[in-house]
Chains A and B, each alone.
Chain A
Amino acid sequence: MSGSRISADLTILVIDENAIRASIIEEGLAEAGHRKVTVIHEVQGVARLIETLQPDVIIIDIESPNRDMMEHMFQLTRSVSRPIAMFVDSSDTASIEAAVDAGVSAYIVDGLKKERVKPILDMAVSRFNAFSRLQRELAEARNALEERKVIERAKGILMKMRGLSEEEAFALLRQSAMNEKKKIADIAQSVVTAAGLLL
């Protein structure tokens, strides 16, 4: 991912509805020595932007429903001087598969050497993957926090209603979970729900 000087003069357009991810990509491109980078978060007016910007490379997240609009635009411009096509190198399907897996796609100006684009795509793929990993971890952490809160509430309910100590309440939850082959958080949730109905 070290900045190769020869590709640093490329004009790059990044289209990503997720502003945080877009800035992560932008940072990666800056680290690799790219200075002519434009980032947009919505595709409104992108046709005009592409006309004026004349990008060599377009990086787009594949969750954008506006990809079809870009396909149409590339069809219209295929006969003009700068036809743009999706980054596909038949000798390197593994890297394009990795890109689609990661949720990113790239279009390049026809005739641009593949080796100038590959580091850009590889960087985008690794950053897209890192971003999804972060998001997944965040979701897991949130989930764990939620579960802990529910268990605390269930313990409180059991302690109050059955006069148990905190340790006894937790042991009861754990024992029920084992007996019913469920997660403690699920048992705790039923306790909380049941208490809401009974009280």
Chain B
Amino acid sequence: MSEMFSMSALGSAAPPRVTREQKTLRAGFIPLMDASILIVAAELGFAEKEGLKLDLVRDVSWANVRDRLAFRQFDIAHMLSPMPVASMLGLGSNPSPTITPFSLGRGGNAITLSARIFERMQILTGLPDDASALANAQALAAVLLDMRARGEAAPTLGMTYPFSSHNYEFRYWLAAGGIDPDRDVKLVVVPPPLTSDALAAGAIDGFCVGAPWNMVASERGTGRIVAAKQDIWPLAPEKVLGLRPEWAEANADTVSRLIVALDRAARWCDEPGNHDHLAEILSSAPYIQAPRDIIRRVLNGEFHLDARGNKRIIPDYFLFHRGAANYPRPHQALWIYSQMMRWGQAEFSGDNRAKAESAYRPDLYRNALGAEASTPDATEEAEMLSAFMDGKPFDTADMAAYVARFPVRTDAAPPLAAHDA
């Protein structure tokens, strides 16, 4: 059949270049908007230009992505930023060494509560429609006390994975409002595409997931967006490119080419003039099954907070490249580690600190891009380390003390329980 006819084409083809490094890469991804850079690198020829072929393989769970990378079904993977850190610390079910030389952008997460809970927050506390993320968290704390006084069950809230930006950001937001995420609410895992339906069905009362699922729920009128990732910590890392360190070493040239391809794709994704095209690619069949106009608005950072017409524009809701968004900052890995300590997932030790830091590899990023590398601006970066919603600056010098300064953490006195009758 077709094989025998392709033989004629073989004669004219150039002989394949002799190279020991892999040039066709299997890339695992979860259908989310923050997979854009990988998708665009494969779809618009950025990988091809660097002599690489990206075979994108859609997966259904982060546990699968982790295992398929570990067991060599994937060469590279779209991963949650805490996953390489967890792997290096030996946390989770199948910790296998994983590094990241490239961050797939910043932003994209938000926290949504059910319209029902939000209405109670407004009635009980007089919360305005344009309240800050912190005021929203405090109002939720007031409602939780009211629910407890009335003997109602604590709400169930959804996130994506135990080692996810969503888990740590949701916990950060709740705790900043005085809510203990382990005692005052019930945190469960819900696959992102199911969050809007789970909220509508009353199975969960809120969630923290990536785009576009918050907007999908708010436009349906079932949810109210109460905080964006930027409100919690603008520098919080989101998704990263995960690699096995031994594979990266054996394929150093390929890794450099890949970083160049991703850098070009990231610059393309950042360009507002390309967003119509990007929305079209993302909403096509193999990628995200969500309406194209919602994806287009999310790219603009144009939020419909609810179905009543309350809007909010979040500039740079998605940062694919600017602000050195692709630079894997070791202090981002350390912040993730601090939150793992805060919530009892990891212990403090100098050894662990070094392991956590080793997951992020800016050296590989710099080597690949040379003079074109977008590195962080020192002044801006110092400001960013203080830009948390609760005003607590991140201190990398003394991690144990940083964690101890949080009034709400695992093993700390439960704040809301003090009000028990």
Q: Give the interface of A toward B (CB within 8 A).
A: 62-72, 74-75, 79, 85-86, 88, 93, 96-97, 100-101, 105, 107, 181, 183
Contacts and interface: CB of A to CB of B under 8 A. Distances in A.
A121 to B, nearest CB: 14
Interface in B28-82: 60-64, 67-68, 71-73
Contact of B64 (A67, A72, A79, A88): A67
B189 interface: yes
Nearest to A107: B93
Given A71-B162, A93-B71, 6 more contacts: A65-B194, A69-B190, A75-B162, A86-B93, A86-B94, A100-B67
Given A71-B162, A75-B345, A62 B92 contact: no
19 contacts: A65-B191, A65-B194, A66-B61, A67-B64, A68-B61, A68-B161, A69-B189, A70-B63, A71-B62, A71-B161, A72-B162, A74-B93, A86-B67, A93-B71, A100-B68, A100-B73, A101-B73, A107-B93, A181-B5
Nearest to B66: A71
B1 interface: yes
A11 B122 CA distance: 50
Contacts of B161: 68, 71-72
Tell me which of B2, B162, B345 has the highest count of chain A C-beta atoms within 10 A of its own C-beta.
Answer: B162
A83 B160 CA distance: 21
B382 interface: no
Closest 8 A/B residue pairs (Cβ): A86-B93, A69-B189, A75-B162, A65-B191, A67-B63, A72-B189, A67-B61, A65-B60
Contacts of A68: 61-63, 160-161, 189, 191
A191 B160 CA distance: 51
B34 to A, nearest CB: 16
A85 B93 contact: yes
A113 to B, nearest CB: 18
A96 B71 contact: yes
B165 to A, nearest CB: 14
B188 interface: yes
B78 to A, nearest CB: 14
Contacts, number: 67
A97 B71 contact: yes
Interface string B4-25: 0100000000000000000000
A82 B293 CA distance: 48
Given A86-B94, A101-B73, A107-B93, A71 B63 contact: yes
Nearest to B91: A75
A198 B62 CA distance: 52
B75 to A, nearest CB: 14
A117 to B, nearest CB: 14
B345 A62 contact: no
A107 B345 CA distance: 20
Nearest to A101: B73
B67 A105 contact: yes
A62 B67 contact: yes
B67 A75 contact: no
Contacts of A105: 63, 67
B61 A64 contact: yes
A43 B64 CA distance: 16
A64 B71 contact: no
Contacts of A67: 60-61, 63-64
